[in-house]
Structure 1
């Protein structure tokens, strides 16, 4: 297992590092990375086909969130550049037609373990009209929302013939700022979004500092694998 740590100098360079994980996996070695990306809104491929896509990109830019289009499936997600985490786990693939569900399940289980080490109790699924809706999301309760569960983890996947990348987002803090830009973006795309569905680890009683969350997720994604090298980005 190879572990990558840190953030590159620009959004473009940062994306190149994530692509490097796929190359490592294609050569037969799994790789993991958990980090705080630059501030941005990352749109999914379905977003790019919607009539309001250019308006949504403009809305993100007006909020100070540079718009990019990501390689995995799913709808738009926002990173605040300070507390929002991204994670990726790349692994070799023998047959790209199989293993998708298993990879999702293993990644979801790893994120659940990580959140539990932070004394949080995640649940599968998400509230209605969540950002980047998906089957393998995780939610947390919030005392500030009278126990209502809010989405904090979204997971997506990219599969090639030689490697697969399971990637996702974890909202640690800054719920208000993230909700504001997501509202504008989803409104422009004409996609339903319930602002109250957006959650953070901090709002659920966990840490607002992303570092302990990052470390817990990295440990969980590595699991029992032997770390052969740690590379600073």
Structure 2
């Protein structure tokens, strides 16, 4: 089966989200679709965040840090993209029965991301430290730097990738985030955001690929190749 590739970033956050929606629309016609890109600078809040008392304050804090707040339809808690060194990835596939296949799609996507990290020389493990950003069952982490493991309050791993999934009647979108660099800025804005939401968060739980000296375009290319797998490419769409 062939796969359609969407590359690039749209001019605005809203246009970029519409481009990702096209992945689901393409998959609903029977053709899988893949996208790996650098989203605009933003804090993307989950629907669970929007119902909390501190949501408006959290959005204001995100703006103060220069991260426009948006609300997304996929995933749980807030995630931050810096516009340059944070990658998003997504794979949309047709489904015959939307009530089945969720665990299998998570497993395949996780295995693909693990293979990409292995190719990049990154020693990654499944799971996440306590009080990480957008906590969830499907996450990937790296060991914390050895010079920081002396404190009992320091996690022994740091989260670098989180996965989410959205399923419609005819298609499923399995997606996620990879933090390549700039952990200090991301930790600062998320510490403020999660504090306003009164959701537990440890800024030291954020990991990056930065210490592995991996160039972001190389990461993007390898992730895309693994999400495509051995399928042929039917078309490449520039946003």
- Which range, TM-score by smaller chain? over 0.9
2:39 maps to which of 37, 40, 59: 37
Partner of 1:227: 233
Mark the runs of 5 or more structure 1 residues left unpaired by the alignment. Answer: none
Mark the runs of 5 or more structure 2 residues left unpaired by the alignment. Answer: 150-155
Partner of 2:184: 176
What RMSD in Å do the two structures reach over aligned CA positions? 1.1
Partner of 1:215: 221
Give 3-state SS (helix, strand or coil) of 1:167's partner.
strand
Figure out how many residues of one structure are paired with residues of the other and give that number: 231
Equivalents in 2 of 1:164, 1:79: separation in Å?
23
Q: Deviations over 1:185-228 (max 9, x none)?
A: 0000000001110010113x241x31000011001100111111
Asked whether 1:198 is paired with 2:206, we answer yes
Equivalents in 2 of 1:98, 1:50: separation in Å?
31
Give 3-state SS (helix, strand or coil) of 1:228's partner.
strand
Partner of 1:5: 7
8 Å CA contact retained: 1:46, 1:73: no
CA shift, 1:141, in A, is 1.7
Partner of 1:136: 138
Partner of 2:65: 63
Equivalents in 1 of 2:55, 2:147: separation in Å?
31
Structure 1 runs (4+) greater than 2 angstroms displaced: 142-148
1:85 maps to which of 84, 87, 94: 87
Give 3-state SS (helix, strand or coil) of 2:164's partner.
strand
Give 3-state SS (helix, strand or coil) of 2:57's partner.
helix
Partner of 1:100: 102
Give 3-state SS (helix, strand or coil) of 2:89's partner.
strand
